[in-house]
């Protein structure tokens, strides 16, 4: 079985030679590209604790305006703002809560946000595992097709059918690796970025929490 050396038609024929597993592999390739683009836009340090929010939050904590900080935190999408909003909501509902209880709430919310960040990029790791497995499945299909040629009574057609089976096996394997390797590389890179975001989240939250506990007053009604 031969393919043209170049052009869109040759690529289409090459992909079609991979068999039915090329359909889910093509879908995984689109999902992988979409995830990478989304993560590039959303997984950034500014999404953790923006300078504008941190400056406003520190000023309000210095003044002891917890209700004002709660209102500001509810309007920001920064992860630190989300955590502080939940902590302040707990303080508002439980004005007699101890410092240890407030710290526990902050740690719980921080762990939850960290888990969400890690879970988001886990999709890339899943794709990096599934894509080569689908490629291996295509390889098995191709080899089965090749061995079934041995039972063909028409000897003249055996070389062509055998070549098609081998092509299906090789194309499916290559496609699985072409998708799985970049997905794993992207996962490793984004994992490092997420760990940096988590560290920044912990630092920003700890700073605001200390200021809250030091200058803590009951929320004004």
Q: What is the pLDDT of residues 2-47, one digit of tens each?
A: 444 444 555 566 566 667 888 899 999 999 999 999 999 989 878 8
Q: Is 1 within the bounds of a domain? A: no
Separation CA 146–CA 167 (nearest Å): 10
Q: Is 7 within the bounds of a domain? A: no
Q: Which residues touch 67 (CB under 8 Å, ≥6 apart)? A: 92, 219, 220
Among the listed residues 196, 198, 206, 195, the one whose alpha carbon sits nearest the alpha carbon of residue 106: 206
Q: Is 139 within the bounds of a domain? A: yes
Q: Is 125 within the bounds of a domain? A: yes
Domains in the chain, number: 1
Q: Report the residue count for the chain.
A: 221
Q: Which residues touch 156 (CB under 8 Å, ≥6 apart)? A: none
Q: Is 219 within the bounds of a domain? A: no
84 has pLDDT over 80: yes
Contact assessment for residue 83 and residue 113, using Cβ atoms and an 8 Å cutoff = yes
Locate all alpha helices (DSSP H) within 64-157, ordered by sequence. 66-75, 79-93, 99-148
158 alpha carbon, distance to own chain's centre: 46
Q: Is 13 within the bounds of a domain? A: no
Separation CA 96–CA 85 (nearest Å): 18
Separation CA 198–CA 181 (nearest Å): 26
Query: How much is the pLDDT for 209?
Result: 92
DSSP element (H, E) containing 22: helix 22-42
Sign of CA dihedral 203, 206, 210, 212: positive
Q: Is 221 within the bounds of a domain? A: no
Output helix, strand, coil percentages for the chain, rounded to the nearest 5: 85, 0, 15
| Angle of CA points 135, 136, 142, to nearest 5° | 90
Q: Is 159 within the bounds of a domain? A: yes
Q: How many angstroms separate the Cα of 82 from the Cα of each of 44, 57, 211?
A: 16, 12, 17
75 has pLDDT over 70: yes
Domain that holds residue 112: 18-214
pTM: 0.79
pLDDT band at residue 111 using 50, 70 and 90 as cut-offs? very high
């Amino acid at each position: 079985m031969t393919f043209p050396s170049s052009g869109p038609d040759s690529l289409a024929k090459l992909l079609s030679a991979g068999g039915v597993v090329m359909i889910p592999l093509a879908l995984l390739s689109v999902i992988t590209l979409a995830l990478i683009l989304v993560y590039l836009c959303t997984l950034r340090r500014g999404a953790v604790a923006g300078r504008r929010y941190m400056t406003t939050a520190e000023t309000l904590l210095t003044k002891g305006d917890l209700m004002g900080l709660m209102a500001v935190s509810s309007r920001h999408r920064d992860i630190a703002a989300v955590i502080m909003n939940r902590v302040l909501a707990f303080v508002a509902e439980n004005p007699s809560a101890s410092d240890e209880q407030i710290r526990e709430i902050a740690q719980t919310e921080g762990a939850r946000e960290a888990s969400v960040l890690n879970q988001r990029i886990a999709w890339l790791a899943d794709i990096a595992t599934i894509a080569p497995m689908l490629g291996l499945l295509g390889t098995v299909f191709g080899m089965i097709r090749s061995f079934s040629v041995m039972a063909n009574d028409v000897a003249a057609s055996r070389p062509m059918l055998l070549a098609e089976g081998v092509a299906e096996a090789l194309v499916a394997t290559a496609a699985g690796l072409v998708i799985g390797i970049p997905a794993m590389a992207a996962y490793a890179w984004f994992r490092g970025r997420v760990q940096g975001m988590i560290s920044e989240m912990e630092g920003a939250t700890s700073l605001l929490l200390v200021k809250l506990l030091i200058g803590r007053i009951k929320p004004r009604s």
